[in-house]
Amino acid sequence: MGETNMEGPVAILRSWSVHTVAAVVFVYVLLKVFTRVRHKSGRRPPGPPSLPLIGHLYHLTQGLPHHTLAKMAEKYGSIMWLDVGALSVVVVSSPDMAREILKTQDHIFASRPSGLTIEYLFGQGQDLLFCPLNDHLRRVRKVFSSQLLSQQRIDSFKDLRRDMLFKTMAKAFEEGHANRYINFSDVMHELFITTTTAMVFRRGAGAHIQDFTEILMEMSNSEWFSIGDIFPLLKPLDLDGQVKRLKMAGEKSSKLMDSIIDNRLKEKTKSMSYEEEDFLDVLLTTSGFTRDQVKFLIMDIVPAGGDTTSGTVVWGMTELLRHPNIMERLQSELDDVIGKERMVEEADLRNLEYLQAVVKETLRLHPPAMLGVPHSSTEATKVAGYDIPANTWVIVNIHAISTDPKVWENPLKFDPSRFLNSRIDVRGQHYEILPFSSGRRLCPGMNLALVSVAYTLAQLVHACSISLPEGLTPLDVDVEETFGLTVGKRNPLNLLLTRRLPSDVYHKAGLNGIGQSRIPVDT
């Protein structure tokens, strides 16, 4: 997902007219009264001093929010209270607090806040990502785990993942052969968006990929919250133009999805085998989903699965290039287990212990969703002795937890060996590291993501010689971040990829020479 403009609301505040200011003062007075009533009952968690009207919004616009909030937690504690306009937000930053939210009181905190993005793009949460805690959520999650993202289904896309990666590698070799560097972040982004889209529409997506990608870009430029969410009484004024933008994106995506669904329904799909079914087939044949719900669910999958996975591969490669000794150790493991006479297959992954440690360490230091996805409380409750009202937003600072010096030795050091012979895993059972979160909202794409990241990194490190642009050393590879719905690498990672294995190995694997890989799907 793209970079979110966290300064948006602040820029808008600067450009308000006299009428707007009058409206704001009115709202402020109302809010003051409202806040007093709201705060009267109960003991709130500690938090920094807040500014009139905007509350703590100011703090969230300073620097990268996951770092800012982690710093604030050092001062105010592992459970903090923030007022962002009319929104009440609790931020938790320790394994114990995460366990309380995601396990002990998961039945209360597993809902989602509402907001304009959710209202206009996802039919008030009829998708999965933004669905509140209700029967629809339980039903959708069941379909995702038992059918859409079951292990059997993930395996059925094995050849697709391999062919897409081979196609990408063939193109990169062609560039490498001509001594041209590739922008690795862009190449991985394209690989995972196209692979995920191809899983959704295995057949007939080609003509729509461009339109689909444009809509996704518009969606990923949306903010979690807009002026209308922060100050609900200003919603009708649409000061940041968010409602207009979201309405347009919603209509565009609905039209596109209608034409794709109409075409699909015209096809005869009855004789199809399990291996040929794509996500769209599964959703259309699962009884009980309305056409709109199918559309919203499809619009969840590509953004949720594409940028997170590609971002993890980019961060993994970045860290390997910064640490040549770790890269060498991984290469030796691959050469020992696979040899140099064939390419990596997904079945090999379980035998690659150091590779798995590299993936875990990458997800510890660079979880793509550093602040997860906001949860919301369905009823008033107590956490650590503090009173948390119903409808409070809850943010789990995944980054703060997995770099907490009380939990991790040398927390900022990239050191995969900390996971060798360790019982700690990234699958939501250990609250010290929660890249996929935990509990009722645990990422349903976790198994797919883990196999995709491990396979891609293994294949690239084993089958490619990877060089930095001339004159650059490992010390020049930076880890500067952007903040958005996912946290990406700010500066491009330019790389030269050439072949590392004997030529006939690529030929035997179907990676037919330079730039001539077979193209398996109609994308």
Only one of the segments 234-242, 318-326, 439-447, 468-476 lies at the binding site for ligand HEM (rule: CB under 6 A); that segment is 439-447
Q: Which of 208-247 are b and which e, b meaning 16 or more Cβ less than 10 Å from the residue's Cβ? A: beeebbebbebbbbbbbbbbbbbbeebbebbbbebbebbe
Q: Is 300 in the site for ligand HEM (CB under 6 A)?
A: yes
227/301 with CB nearer ligand HEM: 301
Pair of tokens at residue 26: 């009115």
- Cα–Cα distances in angstroms (integers) from residue 139 to residues 135, 153, 354, in the given order: 6, 18, 37
- Residue 443 labelled as part of a binding site: yes
The distance of closest approach from Cβ of residue 125 to ligand HEM in the complex, given in angstroms and rounded to an integer, is 10
Regarding 309 and contact with ligand HEM (CB under 6 A), the answer is yes
Distance, in Å, from the CA atom of 127 to the CA atom of 137, rounded to the nearest integer, reads 8
Of 438, 442, 365, 368, the closest CA to residue 400 belongs to 365
- The least CB distance from residue 341 to ligand HEM, in Å, is 31
Are the C-beta atoms of residues 102 and 437 closer than 8 Å to each other? yes
Can residue 368 be called a binding residue for ligand HEM (CB under 6 A)?
yes
Which residues, 6 or more positions from 424, have their beta carbon under 8 angstroms from its beta carbon? 360, 430, 432, 433
Does residue number 408 form part of the binding site for ligand HEM (CB under 6 A)? no
Helices and strands in the chain, H and E counts = 21, 9
If binding is defined by CB under 6 A, does position 437 make contact with ligand HEM?
A: yes
CA neighbor of 317 nearest in space, from 433, 500, 185, 162: 185
Q: Is residue 451 near ligand HEM by the rule CB under 6 A?
A: no
Q: Which is nearer to ligand HEM, 234 or 448 (CB)?
A: 448
What is the nearest approach in angstroms of ligand HEM to the Cβ of residue 507? Answer: 31
Of 45 and 445, CB closest to ligand HEM: 445
Is 97 one of the binding residues for ligand HEM (CB under 6 A)?
no
Considering only 93, 105, 312, 402, the residue that binds ligand HEM (CB under 6 A) is 312
Q: Is 303 in the site for ligand HEM (CB under 6 A)?
A: no
CB of 48 to ligand HEM, least distance (A): 25
Token output for 465: 């010689």
Phi, psi at residue 251, to the nearest 5°?
-65, -40
Task: Please name the residue ranges forming H helices in 129-268.
Answer: 135-143, 151-156, 158-177, 184-200, 209-220, 227-230, 242-266
Count the residues of the shown chain that bind ligand HEM, applying the rule CB under 6 A.
26
d(CA 232, CA 88): 13
In whole angstroms, how close is the CB of 441 to ligand HEM at the nearest point? 4
Query: Strands 87-92, 393-396: parallel, antiparallel or unpaired by DSSP?
Result: parallel
90 lines the binding site for ligand HEM (CB under 6 A): no
Q: What does the alpha-carbon distance between residue 478 and residue 493 come to, in Å, rounded to a whole number? A: 9
Cβ-based neighbours of 288, under 8 Å, separated by 6 or more: 139
Contact 512, 505 (CB under 8 A): no
484 near ligand HEM, rule: CB under 6 A: no
Look up tokens 């959708």; give the residue. 140
Stretch of 286-294, 298-306, 338-346, 457-465 contacting ligand HEM, by CB under 6 A: 298-306
In the chain, how long is the greatest CA-to-CA distance? 75
305 counts as binding ligand HEM under rule CB under 6 A: yes
Per rule CB under 6 A, is residue 301 in the interface with ligand HEM? yes
Nearest residue (beta carbon) to ligand HEM: 445
Residue 95 binds ligand HEM, judged by CB under 6 A = no
- The smaller minimum CB distance to ligand HEM, of residues 176 and 445, is found at 445
Residue 97 · residue 91 · CB < 8 Å: no
Residue 160 as a binder of ligand HEM (CB under 6 A): the answer is no
Name the residue among 302, 104, 278 with its Cα closest to residue 203. 278
As a whole number of angstroms, the distance between CA 280 and CA 202 comes to 8
3-state DSSP assignment of residue 77: coil
Q: Which of 317, 448, 454, 485 binds ligand HEM (CB under 6 A)?
A: 448
Q: Specify the residue, 228 or 305, whose C-beta has the smaller distance to ligand HEM.
A: 305
Which residue among 6, 98, 304, 496 contacts ligand HEM (CB under 6 A)? 304
Q: Kindly tell me which of 360 and 517 has the beta carbon lying closer to ligand HEM.
A: 360
125 belongs to the binding site for ligand HEM (CB under 6 A) = no
Binders of ligand HEM among residues 223 to 282 (CB under 6 A) are none
Taking the C-alpha atoms of residue 131 and residue 466, their distance in angstroms, rounded to an integer, is 42
Interface with ligand HEM by CB under 6 A: which range of 252-260, 326-334, 443-451, 458-466?
A: 443-451
- How far apart are CB 118 and ligand HEM at their closest, in Å? 11
Is 441 one of the binding residues for ligand HEM (CB under 6 A)? yes
Contact status: 56 vs ligand HEM (CB under 6 A):
no
316 lies in the binding site for ligand HEM (CB under 6 A): no
> Where is the binding site for heme, in residues?
443
Binding residues: 443
| Sites of contact with ligand HEM (CB under 6 A) | 128-129, 141, 196, 300-301, 304-305, 308-309, 312, 367-369, 372-373, 435-437, 441, 443-445, 448-449, 453
